[in-house]
Structure 1
Amino acid sequence: MSTIDSNQSLNAILDKLGVNKQEEATTKRRDQLGQADFLKLMTTQLQNQDPFAPMDNADFIAQMAQFSTVTGITDMGETLKGMSDQLQEFRIATASNLLGHSVLVPGNLARPDENGEIHGVVDLPSSASTSNIRFTNEQGEILHQVDMGAQPRGLVGFSWLDIPSEILESGDAIRVEAYADTGNGLEAVSPSVFADVLAATTGNGRDGVQLDVRDYGTISAAEVIKFRK
């Protein structure tokens, strides 16, 4: 086979595969091999093999499989990069949507919402024969109490709806204390309260969306128990 016929045959194969050898050669880096390079090497290998000891079919198929694997890994990398870009856009949308919302976070500092109310929950480790919530100021003075009586195990909601105007106007944070008797007398349990989201950032790929929550600083959106507008 002449050199001209060989080149024409190679070009015909490349055209059928949709590979433009000249265009790829000008766009790819010199230290990378593409489909055209692989087919050229394989064609040259077949042309120059020993006719008395031709290339084994298994070796030929192994080379094709290796090239397919490398191509698949490259395509998968491009797909994952596209997914990463889409996730970044999703994080931006999530962060912007959380602004102006309240999130339920573990803690005992609460502030009245736009309706002048305080809402939260306590997570009881077991059923309680009696339970109550106390709202105090910074000096420890009791401002309000809620007797919730017997409660089953799990999340139990509480609220303070009729907060006096002088407390609302003060703008001070209110401390929430929760107690329950699960068989050993009244013991303190940890409450969770709604707090305002002041700002939100997309963070990085590892940490995800980060929220700046009033009175609680920066927390991960993944740690938030519940969202509320």
Structure 2
Amino acid sequence: MKGKIMSNVDSAGAAAQQAIFDKLGINTNKTAEQRASSDKLGQDDFLQLMTAQLQNQDPFAPMENGDFIAQMAQFSTVSGIEEINKNLSALSADMRQARIATASTLLGHSVLVPGGLARPDSNGEIHGVFELPQAASATRVSYSDAATGELLHNEDLGPQGTGLVGFSWTDIPAALRDAQRKIKVDIEANTGKGMESIGPSVYAKVLSASSFGDESTTATLDVQDYGTISANSIDRIR
């Protein structure tokens, strides 16, 4: 008799609990596949746990309202973080596409890269810069055939102050322009120790733009004679 009464009480309790779940819109009839496919505590699971906790707490020592509020706040925080992560992932994907689109606008243009190899641009000219650590009493730029070493042209730039100094060869012979020969640029400067070599930077043509790896990967540029270069390292364009 006692067992039958307990069974009825349990059934009534289960029915009351299910009624609460139904009012809250909690799905308690997940299939085994649905449960197996999820390894995270969802909103329905959280509400089921909290409802069961309310029904089974000690009536003489019930939990404080603050405890329940803290639990709900923790769950809200976790849900909020998951939503932020989703939004950040979507934003990263958008930024990746934007980086590629921006880099693609550089196709056909020339970017300034460290190095001494150059080719005549679409105007048949070579442009570049070099940086002096201190003032120089004399500076000279020389252009030679990169394959044979033949001197093609040189120019004295005279005294120059500290910092960046620009140089250019604008009257390149037609034969060199048309052949698109690879030209080696050498810079020399006298900063008090005689003429010394200084590494130049030259403008080189962008051939393509791409991006590899995950969403955080920076777009890269394929630059003529210099290969793959990060788009973030480019600060001057022609």
Q: Does 1:48 align with 2:48?
A: no
Check conservation: 1:105, 1:225, Cα contact below 8 A: no
Rg comparison, structure with higher value:
2
Report the CA distance between 1:4 and its aligned residue. Answer: 5.1
Report the CA distance between 1:161 and its aligned residue. Answer: 0.7
Greater displacement, 146-155 / 190-199: 146-155
Letter in 1 for 2:80: G
Change (3 A) 1:194 1:153: same
Alignment match, 2:152 = 143
Change (3 A) 1:44 1:93: same
Letter in 2 for 1:36: D
Q: Separation in 1 of the partners of 2:47 and 2:213? A: 41
Pairs within 5 Å for 1:109-148: 109-138=117-146, 139-148=148-157
Q: Secondary structure at the match of 1:126?
A: coil
Report the CA distance between 1:39 and its aligned residue. Answer: 1.6
The match for 2:26 among 14, 21, 27 is: 21
Change (3 A) 1:24 1:217: farther
Q: Secondary structure at the match of 1:133?
A: strand
Check conservation: 2:26, 2:48, Cα contact below 8 A: no
Q: Separation in 2 of the partners of 1:53 and 1:76? A: 38
Report the CA distance between 1:44 and its aligned residue. Answer: 1.7
Taking only the aligned residue pairs, the percentage that are identical comes to 51
Q: Separation in 2 of the partners of 1:88 and 1:221? A: 12
Greater displacement, 74-83 / 27-36: 27-36
Alignment match, 1:31 = 39
Instruction: Say what the alpha-carbon RMSD is for the aligned residues.
Output: 2.5
Report the CA distance between 1:56 and its aligned residue. Answer: 3.1
What TM-score do the two structures reach when normalised by structure 2?
Answer: 0.82
Structure 1 gaps, min length 5: 15-19
Q: Secondary structure at the match of 1:98?
A: coil
Report the CA distance between 1:168 and its aligned residue. Answer: 1.7
Q: Deviations over 1:18-44 (max 9, x none)?
A: xx5349958784433222221221122
Q: Secondary structure at the match of 2:74?
A: helix
